[in-house]
Amino acid sequence: MNARVLAVHRSPLHQFSKDRVHAITLLEGLGVQGDAHCGATVQHLSRVARDPSRPNLRQVHLLQAELFATLARQGHTVHPGELGENITTEGIDLLELSTGTELQLGREARVRITGLRNPCVQIDRFQPGLRAAVLDRTADGELVRKAGVMAVVLHGGEISAQDRIQVLRSPVPHVPLRPV
């Protein structure tokens, strides 16, 4: 597997898209330093309104760049960072990972996958029809969410484009990802 970081992003504001930067620093138990979603408890505004004391299972948003080609075939032009991800990946099928999978990003940063990003109405505000494009259905009618995965930071460190991604541990048996 030749998985790598394609790009990294952060934004100090609660806005949909994030700015591409040279490097980001992950902080253990918190998320991306300088990002609006960094914190031990929930930081997404809708979740803060419901219960601000809940643990933040959405500290880092990872999205596979391969999604951009799929979206382009459906008439949507999307670039890294525009869907609000902190880390755009390449060469790893994030959606097939098990809940609890641990990834090493770069030399020292480690994250644990907590679940799927649940595409919300903000995606359609960014680009009409995009929410439907990041959702699909299996042959059995089960909803498939393709807007990336969420993670918590187990060990901090700096991450930049071209850094290697390694799967360190994947729970057995496989636990399918669910929205968090």
Please check whether residue 174 lies inside any domain of the structure: no
Number of domains in the chain: 1
SS3 96: helix
Q: What is the mean pLDDT of the segment spanning 41-51?
A: 92
- Residue 1 pLDDT class (50, 70, 90 cuts): low
The pTM of the full predicted model, rounded to 2 decimals, is 0.97
- The whole-angstrom separation of Cα 26 and Cα 91 is 21
Determine the pLDDT at residue 156: 98
Determine the pLDDT at residue 162: 98
Going by DSSP bridges, is the β-strand pair 60-64/87-90 parallel, antiparallel, or unpaired?
Answer: parallel
Q: For position 149, which CATH number holds? A: 2.40.33.20
Please check whether residue 180 lies inside any domain of the structure: no
Please check whether residue 176 lies inside any domain of the structure: no
Please check whether residue 161 lies inside any domain of the structure: yes
Q: What is the mean pLDDT of the segment spanning 10-39?
A: 97
Please check whether residue 141 lies inside any domain of the structure: yes
% the chain with pLDDT above 90: 97
Please check whether residue 179 lies inside any domain of the structure: no
Determine the pLDDT at residue 102: 98
Mean pLDDT, rounded, of the chain = 96
Please check whether residue 85 lies inside any domain of the structure: yes
- Residue 30 pLDDT class (50, 70, 90 cuts): very high
79 is in which domain, residue-wise? Answer: 4-168
**pLDDT per position as a tens digit, 80-92:** 999 999 999 999 9
Q: What is the mean pLDDT of the segment spanning 33-54?
A: 95
DSSP 6-75: EEEEE-SS--SS-EEESEEEEETTTEETT-TT-SSB--SHHHHHH-TTSB-S-SEEEEETHHHHHHHHTT
- Residue 120 pLDDT class (50, 70, 90 cuts): confident
Please check whether residue 91 lies inside any domain of the structure: yes
